[in-house]
Amino acid sequence: MWLLTDLAEAFRNRSRYGTLVGMNARNVALVRAYNRREDYLFADDKILCKSLLEQGGVAVPPTIATGEGLRDIPRLLGLLRGRSNFVVKPASGSGGDGIVVVGEADEGGWQTAKGRFMDEAELGRHLAEIVFGAFSNDLEDRILIEERIVPHALFAEFFSGGVSDIRIILLEGAPLMGMVRIPTLASGGRANLHQGGIGVAMDLATGVTFRAVSGGESVLRHPETGGALIGRQLPHWEQTMEVARLAAASVPLGYVGVDIVVDAVRGPLVLELNARPGLEIQNINGRGLRAALAGAGKEVA
């Protein structure tokens, strides 16, 4: 019965849904209208994306190595042997699948960020899975190895067991909406909202947070760490927005989500781009994307 009463309520509020962008509108009026399908690659392939970002002068995490094919794996393992603090990523993975964050080097292997020992054979097997496309829905994929980021103190305060990131959505260079995604223990240290991460909305002009949502409920504090989430000034905000604009301008995508981490030393770095950013950001901000589009002087179908 709750379904029916909810539907009835939704129907009463139907005019207010006009401020929202649904999946159909996103696909037709934003993604399809502003991004060409053949250009998705510039966001979906992390290695390709990174090279475009570097050309555009966007700050990115330093690359240790990239790899292609099974034959490359011994070379990569040799390169990583004894090395600490790096991140292994599939170039075409999505949703954080296949990403391994490595901490200190240890006898014959490494400690992962999740506090587990991983020997060389296991890392080699993981690299092989990446190459075989296990995380990319494709037959093959490439490997990207980057230096591990040390989050800025504010983000470490939000949650220390994983990396928080900032997502800014832009249309033709105009920032529309943003949020910080903070991992939780429940989300397994991942910042993905649908896996239990917390979304925190910020005012794009000032970088001050004003609303936080955890599991569909509005919250004031991190439910696990108790850290205050509202009214916080995000660090290096002007620089963060500049990096987002620069990143969006570096790729031929009109509608784009830019994911940024703020490194303790290097400041804002672009982690990756998304050619089809999701819609949950509207629930985090308590505001529809159409309203934001109107605010930015953009009008879409």
Partner 1 sequence: MPDAPNKANTKQKSWGVGWLIAVLLLLPLLSAGYKVGVLHYALTDALPDDEYSVTVSMRLDGRGERAKVRTFLPVEDSRQKVMTLTPASSAAFRFSESNERDNRVGNWLGTEVSDGTKLGYTAVVRLLGQRFELGPDIEVPKEHAKGLAKYLAAEEAVQSDNAEIVALMKQVQGDRGGARERIQRMFDTVQKLKFRPFSGTTDALTALRLGEASCNGKSRLLVAMMRASGIPARLVGGVVLESGKKRTSHQWVEAFAGGHWVPFDATNRHFAELPANYLVLYRGDETLFRHTSDTNFDYGFEIVRRQVPAERTLTTFPAFNVWALFDRLGLPFTLLQTVLMLPLGALVVVLFRNVIGVPTFGTFLPALIAAAAGETGLFWGIVAVTVVMLGVVAMRAALNRFGLLMSPTLAILLACVVFMMLGTAMVAEHLGLQELTRLAYFPIAVMAIASERFYLIVSEGSTKKAFKHLAGTLLVVAACHLVMNSIAMQVLVSGFPEFLLWAIAANVYLGRWVGVRVVELMRFKAVAAGAGGSHVAAH
Binding site residues, partner 1, CB under 8 A: 6-7, 9-11, 13-14, 16-17, 19-20, 22-25, 28-29, 33-36, 39, 95, 97, 125, 128-129, 132-134, 137, 172, 201, 203, 205-206, 208, 210-211, 218, 249-254, 279, 282-283, 285-288, 299-301
Contact 144, 164 (CB under 8 A): no
Q: Which is nearer to partner 1, 61 or 199 (by Cβ)?
A: 199
CA-to-CA distance for 39 and 71, rounded, in angstroms?
29
Closest separation between CB of residue 97 and partner 1, Å? 6
Is residue 153 within 8 Å of 139, Cβ to Cβ? Answer: no
Instruction: Give the burial string for 13-33 (b: 16+ CB within 10 Å, else e).
Output: eeeeeeeebeeebbeebbbee
Print burial letters for 125-154: b (CB count within 10 Å at least 16), e (below 16).
ebbeebbebbbbeeeebbbbbbbbbebbeb
Q: How far is the CB of 210 from partner 1 (least distance, A)?
A: 4
Between 133 and 235, name the residue whose CB sits nearer to partner 1.
Answer: 133
> In terms of C-beta density within 10 A (0-12 exposed, 13-18 middle, 19 or more buried), how is residue 62 classed?
exposed
> Rounded to the nearest whole angstrom, what is the least distance from the CB of residue 112 to partner 1 in the complex?
16
Mark out the alpha helices in 35-188 (DSSP H runs). Answer: 41-44, 46-55, 72-80, 120-131, 153-158
Nearest-approach distance from CB 230 to partner 1, in angstroms? 9
